[in-house]
Amino acid sequence: MIIDAHVHLPIGKDCNILCRKREKLLQELARNHIDRCIVISDSCMESDIGNLNECVELFRECANVNVVGGISPYFEFQSQLKKIKDYLDKNLIVGIKLYTGHEAFYLSDERLKEVYELAQQYDVPVLFHSGWDNCQYSDANVVAAVARQYPNLKLVCCHCFFPRIDKCHLLVKYPNVYFDISSIADNMAILNDIEEKIKKLIEVVPERVLFGSDYSGCDQAEHIRFVKNLRLNKMVTEAIFEKNAKYVFRIKE
């Protein structure tokens, strides 16, 4: 079984309406033999990848798709927080996403206290963007501070600080920090170096690394090949592709 723990709605000229986006995503899952995925909504109200309400309604009847709700202190924060709580009450979302770096706020921002407390209350993870430009907003030292302040909060480091994968090792001592490998397999120029660093991370914390692709921005099939090329043993491969995500997102078949 494969769970893609990090996807977004597809964009493009052939995906200009929500139902078409859903159809294309489900087709991509079938083409790559993905059994389940986690769709992450945007934090703003108007977005090509869908806002919180749109993603929840779009996949309400899809048994193999779960939704993570994006939120931002910049976009109707209190009303969005209320919606997230309502969806958590109804078991319609399985996590919360913060777009640190894409948006200019730190993971340690005091305004996020309500987000973290809500996530702990419902035992759902908080995912956050890391790496590339503006990486200071969720750099390893900032993540460490939040992990210490909220030891019962599951934090998922999306993209593993790409391309600085080595920064993940600064956080392995915090058992509540997890890592998803989304979007790290598309740059062929540095792929061998990335493979080596991810393999070292998996050797240290095999139970805390999740498979993700960042579709449709990145290639789902390439990310599957990436994991298979690591030549991990069967037990670890199953953990990366399936079991770790089931634990983090509390997914039950």
**Average confidence (pLDDT) per 10 residues, the chain, 253 residues:** 97 80 95 98 93 96 96 96 98 98 97 98 98 94 98 98 97 98 92 96 98 96 97 97 98 84
Rounded to two decimals, the pTM is 0.97
**Tokens 């600064």 -> residue:** 170
What pLDDT shows up at residue 128?
Answer: 98
> What is the spatial distance between Cα 149 and Cα 182, in angstroms, rounded to a whole number?
26
pLDDT digit string, tens, across residues 188-233 = 889 999 999 999 999 999 999 999 999 999 999 999 999 999 999 9
HEC readout, 155-224: EEEEHHHCCCHHHHHHCCCCCCEEEECCCCCCCHHHHHHHHHHHHHHHHHCHHHEECCCCECCCCHHHHH
Supply angle C-alpha 189, 197, 10, rounded to 5: 60
Q: How many CB atoms lie within 10 A of CB 142?
A: 19
Q: What is the pLDDT of residue 12?
A: 74
* Integer Cα distance of 80 and 71 in angstroms: 7
pLDDT on residue 186: 85
Q: Would you give the distance in Å from CA 172 to the centre of its chain?
A: 18
